[in-house]
Structure 1
Amino acid sequence: MSGTLLTDVTAIREAATPLRSPQDLDPLVRRIGRARIVLLGGATHGTAEFYRWRAELTKRLLAERDFSFVAVEGDWPECHRVHCCVAGAPGAPNDPGQALWGFRRWPTWRWANEEVAEFARWQRAFNATGDGVPCGFHGLDVYSLGDTLRGVLDFVREHAPDQLDATIRAFRCFEPGGADPRDPELVPENCREEVVRRLTAARAGVPGAEDYYRELLHGGVRARTARATHLGDTLDRLLQAYGPRSKAVVWAHNTHVGGTLGRLARERHAADGVVTVGFGTHHGSVIAAGHWGGPARRMTVEPAPPDSFEGVLHDAVPGEDSFFVFGDDEWVREPREERAIGVVHRGGGYVPAARYDAFVHCDETTAITPLHHWEPEEDIPFVPAQTHARGG
Structure 2
Amino acid sequence: MATPASTTLKHGVRTAALLLAGGAGDFDPLLERIGDARVVLIGEASHGTEDFYDLRADITRRLIEEKGFTAVAVEADWPDADRVNRYVRGRSTDATGQAALADFQRFPTWMWRNTEVLEFTEWLRRHNATAGAKGQTGFYGLDLYSLHPSIDAVLAYLRQTDPDAARRASRRYGCFSRYRDSPESYGQIVSFGEGRSCKAQAVEQLRELERRTAPAGQSADELFSAQQNARVVVNAERYYRTMLSPGHSSWNLRDTHMMQTLQSLMQRPENGRPTKVVVWAHNSHVGDARATELGPQGQINLGQLARQHYPNDAVLVGFSTYQGTVTAASRWDGAAQTKRVRPGLPGSYEALLHDVGLPAFQLRLDNPKLVGLEAPRLQRAIGVLYLPETERASHYFNASLTRQFDWMIHIDTTKAVQPLARQCEARAPRDVRPRSVVPAD
Q: TM-score, normalising length from structure 1?
A: 0.82
> Is 1:339 paired with 2:380?
yes
Is residue 2:98 matched to residue 1:49?
Answer: no
The answer for the alignment partner of 2:170 in structure 1 is none
- Determine the C-alpha separation between the residues in 1 that align with 2:423 and 2:376: 40
**Does residue 1:291 correspond to 2:322, yes or no?**
no
In the TM superposition, residue 204 of structure 1 has moved relative to its aligned partner by 4.8
* Aligned position for 1:17: 18
Secondary structure of the residue aligned to 2:424 is: coil
Matched, 1:154 2:156: no
- How many angstroms apart in 2 are the aligned matches of 1:201 and 1:276? 34
Evaluate the alpha carbon distance shift between residue 190 and residue 143 of structure 1 in structure 2; reply closer, same or farther with a 3 A threshold: closer
* CA RMSD in angstroms, aligned pairs only: 3.0
- Aligned residue pairs total 353
* Deviation, structure 1 residue 49: 0.2
Q: Is the 1:143–1:203 contact (alpha carbons within 8 Å) kept by the matching residues of 2?
A: no
TM-score scaled by length of structure 2: 0.73
- CA drift at 1:255: 0.4
> Of the candidates 247, 253, 262, which is equivalent to residue 303 of structure 2?
262
CA contact (8 A) 2:77 2:142 kept: yes
- Is the aligned partner of 1:253 residue 2:282? yes
Is contact 2:106-2:426 (8 Å) kept? no
Given that 1:105 and 1:146 are in contact with CA atoms closer than 8 Å, whether structure 2 keeps it comes out as no
Question: Any conservation in 1 of the 2:72–2:279 contact (CA below 8 Å)?
Answer: yes
Q: Which amino acid aligns with 1:255?
A: S
Deviation at 1:46, TM superposition (A): 0.3
Deviation at 1:294, TM superposition (A): 1.1
**Runs ≥4 in structure 1, deviation > 6 angstroms?**
145-148
In 1: Cα distance, 2:246 partner to 2:109 partner: 23
Secondary structure in 2 matching 1:360: strand
Q: Structure 2: which amino acid aligns with 1:71? A: A
Task: Find the residue that maps to 1:194 and give its secondary structure.
Answer: coil
Equivalence for 2:360: 322
Structure 2 residues not aligned, in runs of 5+ = 151-177, 207-229, 290-300
**CA distance in 2: counterparts of 1:48 and 1:195, whole angstroms:** 44
Structure 2 equivalent of residue 38 of structure 1: 40
Give how far 1:151 is off: 5.1
Q: 1:390 to 1:140 in 2, by over 3 A?
A: closer
1:331 to partner: Cα distance = 2.9
Does structure 2 retain, via aligned residues, the 8 Å contact 1:36–1:246?
A: yes
8 A Cα contact 1:151 1:199, kept in partner: no
Shift of 1:191: 2.6
1:374 aligns with 2:423: yes
Contact 1:304 1:310 in 2 (8 A): yes
Q: What are the residue-to-residue correspondences of 1:209-248 with 2, within 5 Å?
A: 209=235, 210-218=237-245, 220-242=247-269, 245-248=274-277
What secondary structure is seen at the aligned counterpart in 2 of 1:374?
A: coil
Distance 1:304-1:200 versus aligned 2 partners, 3 A rule? farther
Q: Deviations over 1:65-86 (max 9, x none)?
A: 0001100000111111111111
Secondary structure in 2 matching 1:88: coil
SS at match of 1:306: coil
Question: Any conservation in 2 of the 1:11–1:331 contact (CA below 8 Å)?
Answer: no
- Change beyond 3 A, Cα 1:87–1:313: same
Letter in 1 for 2:9: D
Cα distance, 1:122–1:200 mapped onto 2, change above 3 Å? farther
What is the distance in 2 between the residues matched to 1:375 and 1:204?
A: 34
Number of the residue aligned with 1:197: 198
Distance 1:309 1:118, change over 3 A: same
Partner of 2:66: 64
Offset at residue 279 of structure 1 (A): 0.4
Aligned partner letter, 1:14: T
Whole-angstrom CA distance in 2 between matches of 1:194 and 1:116: 40
- Give ranges in structure 1 of 5+ residues lacking alignment: 160-185, 382-387
Q: Which has the larger radius of gyration?
A: 2
Partner of 1:180: none
Aligned to 2:407: 358
Residue deviations 1:4-60 (CA, integer Å, cap 9, x gap): 110111001001111122421100110000001000000100000000000000000
Question: What's the CA shift for 1:101?
Answer: 3.1
Aligned amino acid, residue 239 of structure 1: M
